[in-house]
Chains A and B, each alone.
Chain A
Amino acid sequence: MDAIATEGLTKHYGLPRWWRGGSARFAPIRALDDLTIAVHAGEIFGFLGPNGSGKSTAIRLFLGFIHPTAGRAHVLGQDVSTAGAALRGRIGYLPGGIALYDSLTGTQLLDYLGAFYARPPLLRDSLVERLDLSGRDLGRPIRDYSRGMRQKIGIVQALQHDPELAILDEPSEGLDPLMQRAFYAILDERKAAGRTVFFSSHVLSEVERVCDRVAIIRDGRLVALESVGALLARRRRHVEARLDAPAPALAAALAALPGVSAFEARDDRLAFGLDGDVAPLLRLLEGAPLADLTIEPARLEDAFLELYDEPAP
């Protein structure tokens, strides 16, 4: 069973056509258009896109905060438009830029929000310890918390009841590098326990680090949906080779290699981009007078920017 499955999920805001009478000025805002994705149970799924691309709209549709204009969404096997509160009892949610009850202490907040669930907050102590929230921190009113502390409390409230599906919107925002590392370890543990994590982020390095698959949306439309590995494998690597001596024949052979682009040869230094499989390159370099070879791995950031450079779908 997929943890999340959508089919043509669409959300437009604005006045209905009969009301605006064809005026372009009041044309609807297409927040999400025809989104069809499947998030497999037990995976960490990254949902990427810049501000205003429709990430939060999709998340809000999954949680039933807003209603689709068209299409359907099933979460944990239930139709979100009819499932209601019971479904949300199986989900943990961290909103982006979370707002909390400032007058409560950390402990009071976690007790309050946790009390709505049938499941006890089994993971609270472990999460609090991993995220370095001391008893003193939890005893202070939330109004005194820094942004990072608020985010940590937000993560604990989302995961403390061991939800089957965690929906996290920009979860590492405000966390320092140490806490980010602790958070990634928590995500790995969620996955190892068979739980699903759906997570939106701007931080492409963290998505690359923790996610199994990613969906990239642009202007409300899905532009890519595949595993991080597959996405990277199809992207350009930057290759730089330094030779013991100039080798014009090798340079010519490299320039003619399929997938090579932006080839530059300067004295004993060769630099080029490489798309696709790396094996033919390595075969060609076998026995060459190499002093040094650097193959920079493809980065999700490049893939992301490349998809955003393409003309709009």
Chain B
Amino acid sequence: MSGILFRRTWAAQRVRLLLVMLALAVWGFLLPVVYATFGKEIGTLVQSGAFANVFDVLSRFTGGDVFSIRGTVALGLVHPIALALVAIQVIGFAAAAVAGERQRGTLEVLLARPLERRVLYATLLAATVLFAALTEAAVLGGIVAGALLFGVAGDLRAIDIALCWLNAVALFGTLGAISLAASVSFDRLGPAMGIALGVTLVGYAVEFLGTLWPDAAWLRPYSPFRYFQPTRILAGTFELGDLLVLGAIFAAAVAWAAWVFPRRDLAAPS
């Protein structure tokens, strides 16, 4: 890993990262507020049977709700708003990290230094995982802060929060590794970003369909989102297998990039 490149990457990304983290923290903070304010009423509504089917369907998909603090934490992590914000930072950065520099022509200037391509890749991968860790910490930090401030943190266990964070980092670290593998494989940003977003959106859609439509349930194991289960973790059932599957996909993406990037031709920027 190159400390010089890492510091430069941090300096280039810190403003966007801070804005995304701030947005995620605010998002996370609001959920316990909503739970503390309306959770009891919504819970009563659910127990009354009215709209039961709607709530059931929604909670089956997102695994989250706002009528329990555990459901609130899960909702904070799996809601499309949170996922999109994390994806902007992690997947957006990773997909543009190499292909974007290729397209701008600055990769050539960088690789003319005494810097191995593998070291460049490892540094960008470390930054990707760090961004995933920080953004997920921001949303969980916001949730915990909101829960503590509004006195609704009673049911939450620190270990479960930590495992949720680990599971989320594993998911976005994996999506980031796939995006970075795409980035080192193309000379232009478009195809790299297309693959990165394609994997993420298709994965999300597959999980969405698989949870709501029994006939499509067989597709779920093929989605990375299937292995992100904060609701189960918060219920006390942590499955190591989820982390192992995500770890295997991460390793495959890293192996691809580490094999392809040093061997490929970097033709003159157009």
- Listed in ascending order, the chain A residues whose CB lies under 8 Å from chain B are 13, 56-57, 60, 63, 65-67, 84-89, 91, 93, 95, 97-101, 103, 112-113, 115-118, 157
Q: How far is the CA of A103 from the CA of B16 in the complex (A)?
A: 14
Q: Other than the known A57-B268, A66-B266, A113-B113, what 16 A-B pairs have Cβ atoms closer than 8 Å?
A: A56-B268, A60-B267, A63-B112, A65-B108, A65-B266, A67-B263, A85-B115, A88-B113, A89-B114, A98-B109, A99-B269, A100-B106, A115-B4, A116-B2, A116-B113, A117-B114
Task: Report whether B112 and A97 are in contact in the complex, using a CB–CB cutoff of 8 Å.
Answer: no
Contacts of B110 in A (CB 8 A): 113
CB distance from A41 to the nearest CB of B (A): 20
B contact residues, range = 20 to 34
Contacts of B104 in A (CB 8 A): 99
Task: Report whether A99 and B112 are in contact in the complex, using a CB–CB cutoff of 8 Å.
Answer: no
Task: Report whether A116 and B115 are in contact in the complex, using a CB–CB cutoff of 8 Å.
Answer: yes
Q: How far is the CA of A113 from the CA of B111 in the complex (A)?
A: 10
Contacts of A13 in B (CB 8 A): 265, 267
Q: Which of A56, A66, A88, A112 contacts B4 (CB 8 A)?
A: A112
CB distance from A22 to the nearest CB of B (A): 24
List 9 A-B pairs, Cβ < 8 Å: A63-B112, A85-B115, A95-B112, A99-B104, A99-B106, A100-B106, A103-B12, A113-B113, A116-B2
Q: How far is the CA of A100 from the CA of B119 in the complex (A)?
A: 21
CB distance from B14 to the nearest CB of A (A): 12
Residue among A57, A89, A95, A157 facing the most chain B CB atoms (10 A cut-off): A95
Is B80 part of the contact surface with A, judged by Cβ < 8 Å?
no
Contacts of A112 in B (CB 8 A): 4, 8
Task: Report whether B4 and A65 are in contact in the complex, using a CB–CB cutoff of 8 Å.
Answer: no
Q: How far is the CA of A114 from the CA of B43 in the complex (A)?
A: 62
Q: How far is the CA of A89 from the CA of B111 in the complex (A)?
A: 11
Q: Which of B109, B119, B267 contacts A66 (CB 8 A)?
A: B267
> A112-B8, A117-B113 known; A95 and B267 CB under 8 Å?
no
Is B239 part of the contact surface with A, judged by Cβ < 8 Å?
no
Give per-residue flags for B95-122: 1 if the beta carbon is below 8 A from chain A beta carbons, else 0.
0000000001110111111111001000
Q: Which residue of B lies closest to A118 (CB)?
A: B114
Q: How far is the CA of A57 from the CA of B267 in the complex (A)?
A: 8
Task: Report whether A88 and B105 are in contact in the complex, using a CB–CB cutoff of 8 Å.
Answer: no
Task: Report whether B109 and A116 are in contact in the complex, using a CB–CB cutoff of 8 Å.
Answer: no
Contacts of B109 in A (CB 8 A): 95, 98-100, 113, 157
Q: Which of A85, A99, A118 contacts B105 (CB 8 A)?
A: A99
CB distance from B109 to the nearest CB of A (A): 7
CB distance from A84 to the nearest CB of B (A): 6
Contacts of B112 in A (CB 8 A): 63, 88, 91, 93, 95
Q: How far is the CA of A97 from the CA of B113 in the complex (A)?
A: 18
Contacts of B105 in A (CB 8 A): 95, 97-99
Q: How far is the CA of A63 from the CA of B106 in the complex (A)?
A: 15
CB distance from B121 to the nearest CB of A (A): 13
Contacts of A66 in B (CB 8 A): 265-267
Q: How far is the CA of A91 from the CA of B265 in the complex (A)?
A: 20
Contacts of B115 in A (CB 8 A): 85, 88, 116
Q: Which residue of B lies closest to A59 (CB)?
A: B268
Contacts of B116 in A (CB 8 A): 84-85
Q: How far is the CA of A101 from the CA of B105 in the complex (A)?
A: 10
> A86-B114, A88-B114, A115-B4 known; A95 and B108 CB under 8 Å?
yes
Task: Report whether A101 and B106 are in contact in the complex, using a CB–CB cutoff of 8 Å.
Answer: yes
Q: How far is the CA of A248 from the CA of B146 in the complex (A)?
A: 109
Q: How far is the CA of A97 from the CA of B106 in the complex (A)?
A: 11
Give per-residue flags for B1-30: 1 if the beta carbon is below 8 A from chain A beta carbons, else 0.
010100010001000000000000000000
Q: Which residue of B lies closest to A31 (CB)?
A: B267
Contacts of B108 in A (CB 8 A): 65, 95, 99
